Amino acid sequence: MCEIFCFNSDKPKEVNQCLECFYNHSEDHPHGWGLANMHSDDSIINKEPVKASCSQNLKNILSNPVVGKNVFAHIRLATVGEIISPNCHPFIEADDNNRSWMLIHNGTIFDYPELDKYADKENGDTDSERILLYIIDKINEFEHEKGAPSTIKERFNILNDLVADLSKNNKLNLMIYDGDLTYIHSNMKDSLYYLKNEEGFLVASTPLDGDENWKPVELNKLFGLIDGNIIFESEEHENEFILTEEHERRIEEFLKTIHRDENND
């Protein structure tokens, strides 16, 4: 599975140290890296289908200050999709009101047939990209019926319903950004942690340092963050993901195909 990271704050801060700690985990997540620095007027997206520790591009980026209020990062251990750039996170897509959405995902969709129709629409071939396309379709449907753009609270409520349904029998650790709100969700124990301090709000798959104030993200809830604070918190759903032998078998079968492809190159 992948690892994910986000930094959310009320003021732009330099996050190089956090990112370097995060990308140091790439030995166990060698199938790609991504970095998104999201701004209100522009966003900077970089990603490659190579191990982060081997990327000269990433080294060049981190040799300069990375400063932002909404920064997201991803290192990939593929469970669905080829090792190619279109399958690296983050995924970015605009809705019909020209709002840009960004998504990074740690997990696997084992069972959600409604995503199948996006296989021919996505740029790559990951379940994660299909999640984003599905969410945007639902936002578009709501706004077309309303006849006006959605409010922040309306979008949170829509995503809360979608995420609760998507999480049934699927590992769904998500970070989503819609230009206003950062959404955080986890439904597997000990797979996502947060730290709130004077710098802002940090979330990562594993604690990035020895600070004892890192805490597990509360399971089966959707959180909405702005300016380093939780402004929305959903009710708890019942769809905790527990990895079974069948899940592990399916992941192992996919990883074997990757290793065969790598050996043939």
Give Cα 149 distance to the centre of its chain.
24
- Measure the CA–CA gap between 118 and 16, rounded to whole angstroms: 35
Q: Which residue has the tokens 């959404």?
A: 183
Q: Is 57 helix (H, G, I), strand (E, B) or coil?
A: helix
How many other CB atoms are there within 10 angstroms of residue 93's CB atom? 16
Express each pLDDT in 59-84 by its tens digit.
999 999 999 999 999 998 877 788 88
Q: Which domains does the chain have, with CATH numbers?
A: 3-264 (3.60.20.10)
- Alpha carbon of residue 193 to chain centroid: 14
| pLDDT < 70 stretches in the chain | 1, 255, 257-265
Chain centroid to CA 40: 19
- The pLDDT score that the predictor gives to residue 79 is 78
d(C-alpha 240, C-alpha 156), whole Å = 20
Residue 54 parent element (H or E): none
Phi, psi of 225 (to 5 degrees): -115, 140
Report whether 129 contacts 123 (CB < 8 A).
yes
Q: Scanning the structure block, which residue is given the tokens 């251990």?
A: 77
Helices vs. strands in the chain: H and E counts, helices first = 5, 13
Minimal CA–CA distance to 80: which of 198, 1, 166?
A: 1
The reported pLDDT for the residue numbered 263 is: 47
pLDDT per residue as tens digits for the range 168-216: 999 999 999 999 999 999 999 999 999 999 999 999 999 999 999 999 9
The predicted structure's pLDDT at residue 257: 67
